[in-house]
Amino acid sequence: MEKIKSSLMNTYNRFPITVDKAKGSYVWDADGKEYLDFAAGIATCNLGHVPDEVKKSITSQLDHVWHCSNLYQIGPQQQLADLLTEYSCLDQVFFCNSGAEANEAAIKLVRAYNQDNKTIAAFQQSFHGRTMAALSATGQEKLHVGFEPLVQGFTFLTYNDFDSLRWLRENPPAAVMLELVQGEGGVIPADHNWVNALVRICNDEKILIVIDEVQTGMGRTGTLFAYEEYGFEPDIITLAKGLGSGFPIGAMLAKEEVANAFQPGSHASTFGGNPLASAAGVSTLSEIVNSNILDNCMEMSEKLFTGLKKLQEEFPQIKSIRGKGLLVGIVVDGPAIDLVTTGINRNLLITMAGPNVVRLLPALNITENDLLLFFERFRAVLESVSKEVSISE
């Protein structure tokens, strides 16, 4: 760990375990200690670790071609674009390598489409990535500090707030950009009535709707894309995380009329839609749409919420439980990090979404037995943390 620490830039506080092996909902550290993984690469390993079908397609692609410039046609990339457009309301795809990059592409497409109005309304508490435009669209001031000047043209509105919709009607921007469950911002689902009102204004005022599905997409909230649950069609969506089951790939999808604003030379990415990453995407998406994984996600989500509500009756440090599908936030009284670190000692990987929110992101094909084990281990975590608090009091 010491060597790793000294040669890596200091951008993460890393826990002192090295993940050495992973399968399904479990990972093992270099000492062979097993952990139940409820972090899933922060919503990336939606099919669990090393899913057989995806492993097969990457392995087979390894024998064909690893990389090919976008100056030539790439079979798996075309196949993935066909599948994404078949299973979404969008018509065309631009491939890249990460969520931030997908959002950068979306921001550029909005600007290319609307030559008269370059403003994008984003939302407080949002998270869209760490590159300069994605960071500038992120409504968390603490992440901006020290990196100014930011990219111009973003206005921040209050999420789930009807008053900010009045502002939208009076000052129509080129686009609104939002997550339908704010992930990093604290696992906050968008209110259905509020989204309906927002969509109505956007339709009336010809404002493009950009939905960041980087965390919510690929089945995480129980449908392939979260926008499906809200009953409207966005103009642009962005994807990454779960798209390649852990193989890095991002995508920006748009309606044809909007996508037409890009011409050859408008935007590019050397690795975007790389054959190996695209092969991972094709098998991941095929597995999601051809299996019962979305039903399983909803069934396990219900059981997870029910079990957590029972725990809440017993442990007053749980203030509330919120989220959608298997993107779940537990608001706790006290630092969430205490539960996360205690979890490691109890063979359970969980993560955070802000200082007081524990975030659970299990694989979407999690079994009932895995859930039972989660409750056993999480109960031990809660008992241990509440004991520590009462001793320190």
Ligand X SMILES: Cc1ncc(COP(=O)(O)O)c(C=O)c1O
Smallest distance from ligand X to CB 73, Å: 26
Q: Scan residues 353-372 and list those touching ligand X (CB under 6 A).
A: none
In angstroms, rounded to a whole number, what is the distance separating the alpha carbons of residues 195 and 180? 9
Q: By rule CB under 6 A, what string of x and - marks binding of each residue 221-250 to ligand X? A: -------------------x----------
Smaller CB distance to ligand X: residue 37 or 370? 37
State the DSSP code for 87. S
- 98 touches ligand X (CB under 6 A): yes
Length of the chain: 393
User: Site for ligand X (CB under 6 A): which residue of 24, 48, 129, 343?
Assistant: 129
Q: By rule CB under 6 A, what string of x and - marks binding of each residue 189-218 to ligand X? A: -----------------------x-xx---
Smallest distance from ligand X to CB 184, Å: 5
Smaller CB distance to ligand X: residue 154 or 315? 154
Q: Which two tokens stand for residue 166?
A: 């009045």
**Which residues are 26's β-sheet partners?**
23, 36
Q: Which two tokens stand for residue 50?
A: 């090393």
Any idea what the Cα angle at residue 384 is, between residues 318 and 25, rounded to 5°?
75
Smaller CB distance to ligand X: residue 184 or 235? 184
- 100 touches ligand X (CB under 6 A): yes
DSSP 3-state of 185? coil
Q: Which two tokens stand for residue 368?
A: 């009932």
Cα 175 to chain centroid, rounded? 21
In angstroms, rounded to a whole number, what is the distance separating the alpha carbons of residues 242 and 217? 7
User: Site for ligand X (CB under 6 A): which residue of 184, 229, 287, 370?
Assistant: 184
Smallest distance from ligand X to CB 182, Å: 8
What stretch of H or E contains 206? none
Using CB under 6 A as the criterion, which residues of the chain lie in contact with ligand X when the complex forms?
98-100, 103, 127-129, 179, 183-184, 212, 214-215, 240
